[in-house]
A and B are shown apart, each in its own frame.
Chain A
Amino acid sequence: MTTTKAIIMVGGSSRGTRFRPLALDKAKIMFPIAGKPLLSHTVDAVLKVESIREIILIGFYDVSIFSEFISSFNARMRYSKRNCSIKYLKEFKALGTAGGLYHFREDILKGNPESFLVIHGDIVCSFPLNEMVQFYEEKKKTHQSKIDAILFGVKIPDYELFLALNGSDLTSFGTIVSEENGEVVHYVEKPESKISDVINGGIYLFNESLFRRLSNAKISKITIANDNTHFDFVDEDIISLEKDILHNLPDFGNTYVFQYRGFWKAIKTPSDALWANELYLDKISQGSKSPISPSSSVDVTNSDGSEPLKYRVATMDQHILEKPSSFIQCPVYIHPSATVNYENGTRIGKFVSIGENVTIGAGTRISNSIILENCEIGSNTIIMNSIVSMNCKIGNWCRVEGTGINLISINEMVKKNGVSKLQKLLNQDTFKIIGIKDSGNISILGSGTQVDDDRYVLNSFILPNKTIKHDVKYEIIM
């Protein structure tokens, strides 16, 4: 295969304000989900594509955010004898979704990659990247001419439900209209009406022809920016992949859509992170049931002649989930350094991730939540649908709760009552469903939060380093 590079657009701290208050503690891209940073899930998916030799992270976070990640990545590659390097290229300012690609074109084109993947860092899905690359190869063969781009199209199984779940957010998706053979004939960013049930999934396969288009986009930006008769201020540095490139693609090039029908989510808010935790834990637990990891990685192992098991374990960085028992409802990830007191009927799960050095007291219940490192949780406490950031101290007999319901129950509800009931629920201010609106549906404790014994936190966001001495319901505590 000829796809040798992957570019992951990681974003930056001045954006991602919707990820507050968690963004105050950790960069969104490094936020731990199902036991490892969001970025690791994407990187590990990329590593499954055997031909990838370089991963480039483009964003405008401080370099220090990635230093530890990059050094441990390199160590892993050395250990597993996988030939792949990683680097982070920092934009001098936020350059839009494609400005960074243009700015760092020389780095991307170094070594003449025939094609390369571009992935938005906040996408959560099962990443069938090998299939996407294969699709590109097949199209190249059958088409006998140059393919300009492959778009990753997410087929929405129930558009009505999708509409209901995402509400006003719907217009932030691009939609793709294609022929039967997958050729894209129309691309619309932020449509106001239903044009297609295939949306842009934020993953692309491009080749050098992209840079010709980026140059053209850049030139027209400069022209507009220098045009005194033009009314609006235009920043010539900013290029939008969606508006400036994809929108015009069907008219000028041969663009195909690779259709995907699995789980998919763009992580924007903390509730999305909880949703992603559920999806990834589910995915990992299903993956661990099959004795052999996905075929592509096995193939590579064999051709490399390295030890298959070592290769798989090391490069996939697959976490080992807890086994089911009377106190574990799978899937659950607990870091090996965490201490859980299993006396007195402690129960953890489903969909729980627990970080390093966390201690959990006897008789405590945790479901659908993420607990970050160094937290101390007392006895007989219950935590549900919540994210607890690092270094928190939660007392005995506390209740930290979000009303959020998981995907499965949403689907069941819709199946039983239709979409109308869901929409009715969404219209009620106090009843907010996980992953749909910005706040209120989950509880978040910022880092260093202290919750006194017996206290109740319901659907509230607590900013870092506060002490909770009274019950808090539907509040943001500054």
Chain B
Amino acid sequence: MKGLILVGGYGTRLRPLTLSVPKPLVEFGNKPMILHQIEALANAGCTDIVLAVNYKPEVMVGALKQYESIYGVNITFSVEEEPLGTAGPLKLAEKILRKDDTPIFVLNSDVICEYPLKDLLDFHIAHKAQATIVATKVDEPSKYGVIVHDRDVPNLIERFVEKPVEFVGNRINAGIYVINPSVIDLIEMRPTSIEHETFPILVEKQQLYSFDLPGYWMDVGQPKDFLSGMCLYLSALTKKGSDLLTPTTEEFVNGGNVLIDPSAKIGKGCKIGPNVVIGPNCIIGDGVRIQRSTILKNSQIKDHAWVKSTIVGWSSTVGKWARLEGVTVLGEDVTVKDEVYVNGGKVLPHKSIKDNVETPQIIM
């Protein structure tokens, strides 16, 4: 089994975090984002994983090397000279992906879900078609490409409707596929889209099915959705009864869904949660209140600070009695001085914030 992860470019939507660290290495739930996918692929029996990238940061190569032995996989970087869209990378990595006849998983790197890849594979094999798309149900299908099924054959895709004005269904393409190697024959070596060019051919041939994704799904490519996705991810861990979570019997845990690295220190009289992730070596002072936030590793939240809907970047410091909220994102090594209020500030790395930021803005 093989898997391709569409990583793409610089992850500008997740700035200021991605100014310091390539997007796949930004920790989501205390684990680099890409590791969620690598782990899922390895668990589904993949031995070869291709990362389709527009650029190849050395830091990423080094960081991912260690996981090859941990998960028993080969990780290859397929670097595009020019962005090849969502289908082109499959052609580019053809050599690895076609080395045997087993199906290929294709994942978009921004997506966070429970990755039921084994079930997906079983479904795919059972339906004997060339490709299967994972579908997720959304509240507002009008913003997406909606899947319309055949009236007679269950799960067979009849057509896609891009941003429908009328309700035709609420299942959308979740950005996760399993394809047979032969699908690569349909792709030309140029920038091309799997959704708009390859799938319509398969629909025509009645060779494309959809698999309903159980559980949550979220594109976490930007800060607002990163936090929403974090809530979904933590809720799922709670549902599973995961022992990664900090037990709610801890005095400082409020409302559950709290994931704290064992190396982090928590002060007296804190109230943390719901929906909080605290990374390794973080120091949380006394009387700190945190809700709906991710604190990345080596950061310090000083006494009596109040943090909500915020991503605190690596090695940052939040001062005493400071208050952060409104999807504030602190880049790496940012200092928020004592007693300062920041609402929706996107703060670039190595800045020091001395005055209140009352309205959402970028702090250069």
Contacts and interface: CB of A to CB of B under 8 A. Distances in A.
B2 to A, nearest CB: 49
B320 A365 contact: yes
B110 interface: no
Contacts of B320: 345, 365
The interface size bin for chain A is 20 to 34
Interface string B323-364: 100000000000000010100000000000000101000000
A313 to B, nearest CB: 36
Given A344-B269, A365-B304, A380-B269, A399 B289 contact: no
Contacts of B306: 380, 397, 399, 454
B287 A363 contact: yes
Contacts of B286: 344-345, 363
A436 to B, nearest CB: 18
A260 B339 CA distance: 37
Contact of A363 (B303, B308, B341, B356): B303
A401 interface: yes
Contacts of A362: 269, 287
A344 B323 contact: no
Interface string A396-420: 1101010100000000000000000
Interface string A351-379: 00000000000111101000000000001
B28 interface: no
B268 interface: yes
Nearest to B303: A345
A454 B268 CA distance: 18
Contacts of B271: 396-397
B314 interface: no
A380 B289 contact: yes
A473 interface: yes
Query: Which interface residue of B286, B306, B341 has the most chain A CB atoms within 10 A?
Result: B306
Contact of A382 (B269, B308, B321): B321
A344 B286 CA distance: 7
A458 interface: yes
Contacts of A473: 358
Interface in B271-329: 271, 286-289, 303-304, 306, 308, 320-321, 323
The interface size bin for chain B is 10 to 19
A365 B321 contact: yes
Contacts of A337: none
Contacts of B323: 382, 399, 456
A382 B303 CA distance: 12
B304 A454 contact: no
B269 A379 contact: yes
A117 B306 CA distance: 53
Tell me the dominant secondary structure on chain B's binding face: loop
Contacts of B341: 399, 401, 456, 458
Query: Which interface residue of A384, A454, A473 has the most chain B CB atoms within 10 A?
Result: A454
A134 B268 CA distance: 61
B261 to A, nearest CB: 24
A457 to B, nearest CB: 12
A424 to B, nearest CB: 16
A446 B230 CA distance: 40
Nearest to A346: B304
B287 A384 contact: no
A430 interface: yes
B356 A403 contact: yes
Contacts of A384: 339
A345 B320 CA distance: 10
A397 B303 contact: no
Nearest to A345: B303
A468 to B, nearest CB: 15
B287 A344 contact: yes
Nearest to A431: B358
Contacts of B304: 344-345, 363-365, 380, 382, 397
Query: Which interface residue of B304, B323, B356 has the most chain A CB atoms within 10 A?
Result: B304
Contacts of A403: 356
Query: Which interface residue of B288, B308, B321 has the most chain A CB atoms within 10 A?
Result: B321
Contacts of B289: 380, 396-397, 454
Interface in A451-476: 454, 456, 458, 473
A474 to B, nearest CB: 9
Query: Which interface residue of A344, A363, A403, A454 has the most chain B CB atoms within 10 A?
Result: A363
B339 to A, nearest CB: 6
A365 B339 contact: yes
Nearest to B322: A382
Nearest to A364: B304
A382 B287 CA distance: 12
Given A363-B269, A382-B321, A399-B323, A344 B339 contact: no
Contacts of A456: 323, 341
Contacts of B268: 344
B328 to A, nearest CB: 14
Given A363-B287, A397-B306, A430-B358, 14 more contacts: A344-B286, A344-B287, A345-B304, A365-B339, A367-B339, A380-B288, A380-B304, A397-B289, A399-B323, A401-B341, A454-B306, A454-B308, A456-B341, A458-B358
10 contacts: A344-B268, A344-B303, A345-B287, A363-B303, A379-B269, A379-B287, A399-B323, A454-B306, A456-B341, A458-B358
Return the 7 tightest CB-CB contacts between A and B, nearest first. Answer: A363-B287, A380-B287, A382-B321, A380-B304, A397-B289, A365-B321, A363-B304
